[in-house]
Chain A
Amino acid sequence: MTPQLTLGPVLYNWPAETWRDFYFRIADEAPVDTVFIGEVICSKRAPLFDPYLEEVVARLKKSGKDLVFASLAEVTSNIDRRLVERVAASDEFFIEANDASALWYLDGRPHAIGPYMNAYNEDSLEFFAGNGARSICLPPEMPANGIAALGKRSGELGLELEVQVYGRIPLALSARCYHARAHDRTKDSCQFICDRDADGMVLHTLEDRPFLTINGIQTQSYTCLNLINELDELAASGVSRFRISPQSTGTVAVAKSFSALLDKEITPAEANECLQESGLDAPFSNGFYHHQPGMEWCA
């Protein structure tokens, strides 16, 4: 399969106009094949982007991108449930399921399995494929040997395998909103305080060492995942889709670097240099892939 670049959903609460302009720019400039839209983290945020959704969808479609609508990753309240139903029951979009509640509505229709779904082994792949999955984005903690084993099986099942290769790593979900908590509010009374942090709120240890990143109910890495050095190996393992997770700066440049590397126009060293210059201002990590602590960088 020809390797494809995909752009994961925006995970942060950006001002709606910024969100719109980001996708316009992606449509016009970013060499990605598939674009994921939709609110994955917080159902309260979803309506903020609705006024621009139609325009964004039209612009992305016009640019020839494949469009996938991602469903909510954690479902507890009635608002969450209504959002999942609205997204997953719609036949307007191809859906990425990030929680089993979306699978309930999809009921065998072709769809994608998102990185929050815990597809760790061959048996899970088989179930998902039999249930209508066309592609599966693996959990970010999956090490190289696991990816390779699944790459082999996914080929036999006709599944496309996807792996996140860039951006902050999603590490955990909670019922509690840690953005609200940091500002002495609750999830219901948050007043959308998460909009202050375009790439999440960095938590430091008591010795002031940057450690984790808070994004509402989600906890992410402080480090920025970068699998540019592993791209060839991933492709050889049977991974055909490489996911870039949007950050507030440099996402288009990052996509261009990955694209140029896939087209063999630049070397991994040159690509890394571009990422360093234009991407997120945080150290790189690739530890999960090398079966090391996820925060580590294995050169």
Chain B
Amino acid sequence: MTQLFKPELVCPAGTPAGLRTAVDAGADAVYCGFQGPTNARNFPGLNFTLAEMADAVTYAHDGGAKVLAAINSFPTAGRTEIWKKAIDDAVSIGIDAVIIADIGMAGYMSRNHPAQRIHLSVQAGASSPEAINFYCRNFDIKRVVLPRILTVAEIKKVHDEIGCEIEAFVFGNIGMMAEGRCALTNYVTGQSTNMDGVCSPASHVHYEEDEDRNLKTKLGEFTIDCIACGENAGYPTICKGRYNAGHKQEYYAFEEPVSLNLTRLLPDLMRAGVTALKIEGRQRSRAYVKAVVSAFRQAVDAYSRGDEPDISNLLALTEGHRETQGAFRSKTWR
């Protein structure tokens, strides 16, 4: 096998301890967000204060890793100051790049912090060369995080036609809807994925056992799935629920409760010109982050040396859970 360009491994951190774990496990970059609504993982008990973020930058830089600040939800009218302060704060502590989704905030950054690297968030939903080049032209973005809706062949084509780097998700939870373009949670719960940074909030999730001991998973007042006794109940997100259509009963109308694992496609992604491989999971435990980051570190290093790595570790990470290569492998997924 020939040597391949070695991509950056971009890893999640929901807490300062998680960040240290990711750096120690071999992350080239760690992404994290401030507490509050400015990032797309606004969960209780997660994310960083400014002081914690500053310490995180020091720790990561000492370990040879970068820190990317996810300020990637969409500020609502009248509240943009919170997002602008988050951007200013991130820049002031020497962050390596800011991940932005909102076009207004991209403008704010490029005007006020022209020297700062902007990464275009997956939430911006820029999926074509034209869309990405539009952001390059207007905001001088240095990297795009691609929506999880393209095949590897399409990613290659995008790479050949754009003026910035590509970051692609390779592992973790995967929603079925194009990022930044889903209001399903808000339709049911009144909390918005784009504006509040939440998807299927735990506060609205309920589990109910019926008389036959089947477990109903519910979001708000809607049953998202019903699991027979003994089966694993997935977390109820609308896009992984079971529904009835006129001619088809009890089927996963969007997708089964799967998670993304592109281990087998890693060399293809590297050949497609992807600069950075991204692991999802800021809400995950340190043990999980350590296992995933270490396994990906070994695999990526081996591929870039031209060796064939043992990927059994990576495949085992999702063992017992259903996994998918999502949109990436072939157009037949669509």
* A residues lining the B interface (CB < 8 Å): 73-77, 80-81, 84-85, 99-101, 103-105, 116, 118-128, 131, 139-143, 145-150, 153, 169, 171-178, 180-183, 186-188, 201-209, 211-212, 214, 219, 221, 287-288, 291-295
**Quick one: closest A residue to B195, CB to CB?**
A120
**Quick one: closest A residue to B134, CB to CB?**
A104
Q: How far is the CA of A288 from the CA of B188 in the complex (A)?
A: 10
Residues in A whose Cβ lies below 8 Å from that of B244:
203-206, 208
Most buried by B among A84, A131, A173, A207: A173
Residues in A whose Cβ lies below 8 Å from that of B220:
293
Residues in B whose Cβ lies below 8 Å from that of A211:
222, 243
Contact between chains at B250 and A120 (CB < 8 Å):
no
Verify if B263 is at the interface (C-beta below 8 Å from A): no
**Quick one: closest A residue to B191, CB to CB?**
A293
Verify if B331 is at the interface (C-beta below 8 Å from A): yes
Chain A: minimal CB distance from B325 (Å): 13
* Contact of A201 (CB < 8 Å), options: B130, B189, B190, B246: B246
Contact between chains at B150 and A293 (CB < 8 Å):
no
Chain B: minimal CB distance from A125 (Å): 7
Q: How far is the CA of A208 from the CA of B184 in the complex (A)?
A: 19
Residues in B whose Cβ lies below 8 Å from that of A219:
177, 184, 254
Residues in A whose Cβ lies below 8 Å from that of B128:
75-76, 80-81, 84, 99, 101
List CB contacts (< 8 Å) of B169-193 with chain A: 176-178, 180-184, 186-190, 192
Contact between chains at A141 and B188 (CB < 8 Å):
no
Chain B: minimal CB distance from A273 (Å): 26
Verify if B233 is at the interface (C-beta below 8 Å from A): no
Verify if B194 is at the interface (C-beta below 8 Å from A): yes
Contact between chains at B134 and A126 (CB < 8 Å):
no
Residues in A whose Cβ lies below 8 Å from that of B105:
123
Verify if B258 is at the interface (C-beta below 8 Å from A): no
Given contacts A187-B334, A188-B332, A221-B187, contact A141 B192 (CB under 8 A): yes
Contact between chains at B75 and A121 (CB < 8 Å):
yes
Contact between chains at B223 and A205 (CB < 8 Å):
yes
* B residues lining the A interface (CB < 8 Å): 74-80, 101-108, 124-131, 133-135, 137-138, 147-150, 154, 176-178, 180-184, 186-190, 192, 194-195, 216, 220, 222-226, 238-239, 241-248, 250-251, 253-255, 327, 331-334
**Quick one: closest A residue to B176, CB to CB?**
A174
Contact between chains at A76 and B150 (CB < 8 Å):
yes
Contact between chains at B178 and A74 (CB < 8 Å):
yes
Residues in A whose Cβ lies below 8 Å from that of B102:
118, 120-121, 123-124
Residues in B whose Cβ lies below 8 Å from that of A172:
177-178, 181-184, 239
Q: How far is the CA of A127 from the CA of B187 in the complex (A)?
A: 28
Given contacts A101-B128, A293-B189, contact A128 B78 (CB under 8 A): no
Known: A74-B181, A141-B194. 5 other contacts (CB 8 A): A99-B125, A122-B78, A127-B107, A146-B77, A219-B184
**Quick one: closest B residue to A211, CB to CB?**
B222
Contact between chains at B223 and A186 (CB < 8 Å):
no
Contact between chains at A128 and B103 (CB < 8 Å):
yes
Residues in A whose Cβ lies below 8 Å from that of B331:
77, 186-188
Interface SS, B side? mixed
* Contact of A101 (CB < 8 Å), options: B134, B181, B238, B251: B134
Give 21 A-B contacts (CB < 8 Å), ordered by A residue: A74-B178, A85-B130, A101-B128, A101-B134, A104-B130, A121-B74, A122-B80, A123-B104, A123-B105, A140-B183, A173-B178, A174-B177, A174-B239, A176-B327, A178-B254, A180-B334, A182-B247, A183-B247, A203-B243, A221-B187, A295-B187
Contact between chains at B149 and A175 (CB < 8 Å):
yes
Q: How far is the CA of A175 from the CA of B76 in the complex (A)?
A: 26
**Quick one: closest B residue to A117, CB to CB?**
B103
Chain B: minimal CB distance from A25 (Å): 28
Residues in B whose Cβ lies below 8 Å from that of A85:
130
Q: How far is the CA of A77 from the CA of B127 in the complex (A)?
A: 9
Contact between chains at A171 and B189 (CB < 8 Å):
no
Chain A: minimal CB distance from B134 (Å): 4
Contact between chains at A178 and B253 (CB < 8 Å):
yes
Given contacts A100-B131, A188-B334, A206-B226, contact A201 B245 (CB under 8 A): yes
Q: How far is the CA of A113 from the CA of B8 in the complex (A)?
A: 36
Q: How far is the CA of A146 from the CA of B77 in the complex (A)?
A: 5
Most buried by A among B138, B223, B327, B334: B334
Contact between chains at B149 and A174 (CB < 8 Å):
yes
Contact between chains at B177 and A76 (CB < 8 Å):
no
Residues in B whose Cβ lies below 8 Å from that of A169:
183, 187
Q: How far is the CA of A204 from the CA of B250 in the complex (A)?
A: 9
Q: How far is the CA of A75 from the CA of B146 in the complex (A)?
A: 12
Chain A: minimal CB distance from B106 (Å): 8
Chain B: minimal CB distance from A285 (Å): 9
Contact between chains at A294 and B253 (CB < 8 Å):
no
Given contacts A76-B154, A174-B178, A211-B222, contact A293 B80 (CB under 8 A): no
Contact between chains at B108 and A123 (CB < 8 Å):
yes
Residues in B whose Cβ lies below 8 Å from that of A203:
243-245, 253
**Quick one: closest B residue to A189, CB to CB?**
B332
Q: Considering the complex of A and B, which 6 residue pairs feature the smallest CB-CB distances, nearest first? A: A123-B104, A175-B149, A149-B77, A124-B104, A101-B130, A100-B131
